[in-house]
Structure 1
Amino acid sequence: MSTQPLKILVFSHRAEVRETIITSVGRRPAADIGHVRYIEVGTVAEVLMEMDGGEIDLAILDGEAQPTGGIGLCRQLKNEIADCPPIVVAVRRKDDRWLATWSQADAVVVHPLDPLTAAETVADVLRSKALPVVRG
């Protein structure tokens, strides 16, 4: 595995939500994943710029962000970026999980974030991204 930390983009218009997500997932979501580096962004323009740059390994989007929420933004990214990195959407209500599924999110976490569940979810998504394709 690379010695470079994986880059995780965290989007919310509210700094305290970004901080909660980062604190919950932690700097090392799992031993086999290694350390991660967070790129915090507060606007859709910043998300698009970072995602278009091609160096993001995973994005965590706040489903409640204003004026554009992470659910709609996830769907846009999944439909517009070829080979889009995996995306985790954080929602406020368990009932909103179906919206995150509609958005083509790779996983969903629900506020208040449980640190064990959040770290495990991110680690699982990163692991599935790293699996090699086996043919024949």
Structure 2
Amino acid sequence: MSDAAAPAGTGPRTVVVFSHRPEVRDAVRTAVGTHPAQDVGPVRWLDCATGAEVVAAVDRGGVDLCILDGEAQPTGGMGISRQLKHEVDDCPPVLVLIARQADRWLAHWSMAEATLTHPVDPLVAPRTVAELLRDRAGRPVVRGRAG
């Protein structure tokens, strides 16, 4: 994997999907698919069941997007999002899965760029993921944590 995000339309884009529940990760992958939009290229999914796995994946670099379950236990996706945004230089965009639209204010607190509600809508999810990947393609990626 290279240090830079793949330009639109080229190699696979790495998307972390995090939840302690495998059925939530499956629902996200099913709703988004492997090609959310033709101009962003294919998606390579990286499943994470713990917050520590998410942080380690982002620290290694090469992640283009994180989709984090805000209802995950024991550490929710909103807390992980906020941690990443404060600790990682040029953090990839974060999309938080929320249970209710009323939870959007918490996602805003978490510094996430976008939200999706449970159950994941297969018409909205690919568009949202594609938008975030397009935005990411225009920015250089810097690996590692801020010191």
Same fold (TM over 0.5): yes
- The aligned residue for residue 77 of structure 1 is 84
CA shift, 1:131, in A, is 2.8
Please list every run of at least 4 consecutive aligned residues from structure 1 whose deviation after the TM superposition is greater than 3 angstroms.
none
Task: Measure, in 2, the Cα distance between the counterparts of 1:125 and 1:44.
Answer: 21
- The aligned residue for residue 16 of structure 2 is 9
Q: Deviations over 1:73-99 (max 9, x none)?
A: 100100000110111001111100111
Structure 1: where are the runs of 5+ without partners?
none
- The aligned residue for residue 125 of structure 1 is 132
Q: Aligned Cα RMSD in Å?
A: 1.4
- State the TM-score, normalizing by the size of structure 2: 0.86
CA shift, 1:107, in A, is 0.6
CA shift, 1:116, in A, is 1.2
1:1-136 pair list within 5 angstroms: 1=7, 3-131=10-138
Q: Deviations over 1:27-55 (max 9, x none)?
A: 10011111100000101111111010011
Task: Measure, in 2, the Cα distance between the counterparts of 1:132 and 1:39.
Answer: 21
Identical-pair percentage? 53
Q: Deviations over 1:56-77 (max 9, x none)?
A: 1101000000000001110010
User: 2:109 corresponds to which letter in structure 1?
Assistant: W
- More relative contact order, 1 or 2 (CA 8 Å, 6+ apart): 2
- The aligned residue for residue 144 of structure 2 is none
Aligned residues: 133
User: 1:114 corresponds to which letter in structure 2?
Assistant: D
- State the TM-score, normalizing by the size of structure 1: 0.93
CA shift, 1:3, in A, is 3.4
- SS for the counterpart of 1:10 is strand
Structure 2: where are the runs of 5+ without partners?
1-6, 141-147
